[in-house]
Amino acid sequence: MERNLTLDFIRGVAILGILLLNIVAFGLPKAAYLNPAWSGSVSLSDAWTWAILDLFAQVKFLTLFALLFGAGLQMLLPRGKRWIQSRLTLLVMLGFCHAVFLWDGDILLAYGLVGLVCWRMIRDASGVKALFNTGIVLYLIGLGVLLVLGLISGDHTSRSWVPEAAPLQYEAYWKLKGGMEAVDNRLSLLSSNLLAIGAQYGWQLAGMMLLGAALMRSGWLRGRFSQSHYRRTGVILVGLGLLINAPAVYAQWYLGWQYRWCAFLLQSPRELSAPLQSIGYAALIFGYWRTMASWRITIAIACVGRMALTNYLLQTVICTTLFERAGLFMHFSRLQLLAFVPAVWLVNLVLSVCWLHFFRQGPLEWLWRKLTALATGSPASSTTR
């Protein structure tokens, strides 16, 4: 299958962008991911860091990655049922191991499980319009569930939103200690995450995958429209997304990140804006691709996208080593943690460019493809040039 350099670049942007949010999950307690006032107070610098990332990055890059995942499922349809199911099942297994033995913020398990449902919906869709509309409906169902959860949550503040000292100390203890203590806690968190996937998040993830497949099937994600169309679409969608999300960001800050409003109800504008902004980001890349295509940094980021699985797991290895093994967990503020991001990006970029100079695929991509081929009895192509 011939590679699409633009899609590789967009995937690379998504992988690198995800780290802007994940770095908080690596370096601070779980409660800090969505709540900058998790400790009971918040500095002005951390509040502004949260606000800017919420506007431009929070959920957006994960949504963009889900969009591309769905596009990938559409492209894999000619491979047939056995190949797709084997590939996604292996991703589920890898995600489970990642979530239990390395880091509790894994997304691979969710993508694999939802993908096992979505690929049939993509295959059986009667046309682009039906696929697109179904994706919108599924996404809005997930959004509706989020609103319902907010309405029934009550006025009390959850201990997971603003945890007391003892739970914070225990979280730091098991993350720094590692071993079976950490595995047991990650398993407990994984069970909660699986419930969230089934009840709410999985609907939105499925919706984005179907939207991605529809945009791929229509040719939109293949760059078949005019550059003026992509530029105009990008500006409109990103602008609309910011207009939807900005009032919610202000309201959360104004309310002091109160649990009932900020953990559920005021998350909805962000979730509603995320598909608009993520598709808008992709549109802007297509719209300015002729200018960007010759840049060295563009080629390097595209290499990161070609090795997306390897680079995602590499980020986990680097960050868990820094914050858990080296004991830097809870030593830095939200703003200070961002200083680690460019260094990790540099490792992703350099490794990807160097590796793909000699091989056609990343090491984990090669292994994933090889195991899929073994499971289906299909031939796997060589990775050497």
pLDDT for position 382: 45
Contact 287, 234 (CB under 8 A): yes
Report the distance separating Cα 100 and Cα 97, nearest Å: 5
Per the CB < 8 A criterion, the answer to whether 323 and 105 are in contact is no
pLDDT at 359: 95
pLDDT at 25: 96
Domains of the chain, residue spans: 5-376
Report d(CA 206, CA 50) in Å as an integer.
27
For residues 217 and 132, the answer to whether their CB atoms sit within 8 Å is no
Whether pLDDT at 11 is above 80? yes
Q: What is the pLDDT of residue 2?
A: 62
- Eight-state DSSP code of residue 384: B
What is the tens place of the pLDDT at every residue in 309-339? 999 999 999 999 999 999 999 999 999 999 9
pLDDT at 151: 86
pLDDT of residue 33: 93
Give the per-residue pLDDT at 47: 96
What tens digit of pLDDT does each residue of 47-78 get?
999 999 999 999 999 999 999 999 999 999 99
Indicate whether 384 pLDDT > 60: no
Q: Would the pLDDT of 306 be above 90? A: yes
Residue 24, pLDDT score: 97
The answer to whether residue 206 scores a pLDDT higher than 80 is yes
- C-alpha angle with apex 126: 73 to 67, nearest 5 degrees? 30
> What's the confidence (pLDDT) of residue 66?
97
Q: 303, 352 in Cβ contact below 8 A?
A: yes
Q: Between these two residues, 192 and 382, which has the higher pLDDT value?
A: 192
Q: What is the pLDDT of residues 287-300, one digit of tens each?
A: 999 999 999 999 99
Report, as an integer, the average pLDDT of 107-135: 96
| pLDDT the model gives residue 160 | 83
Per the prediction, the chain carries an average pLDDT of: 94
Q: What percent of the chain has pLDDT over 70?
A: 97
Phi/psi zone of residue 359: left (φ > 0), alpha (ψ -120 to 50 degrees), beta? Answer: beta
The pTM (predicted TM-score) of the whole model is: 0.94
Looking at per-residue pLDDT, the higher value among 129 and 156 belongs to: 129
- What percent of the chain stands above pLDDT 90? 90
- pLDDT (average), residues 195-223: 95
CB-based contact 251:261 (threshold 8 Å): yes
Matching residue, tokens 């191991």: 97
Query: Residue 325: left if φ>0, alpha if ψ -120 to 50, beta else—which one?
Result: alpha
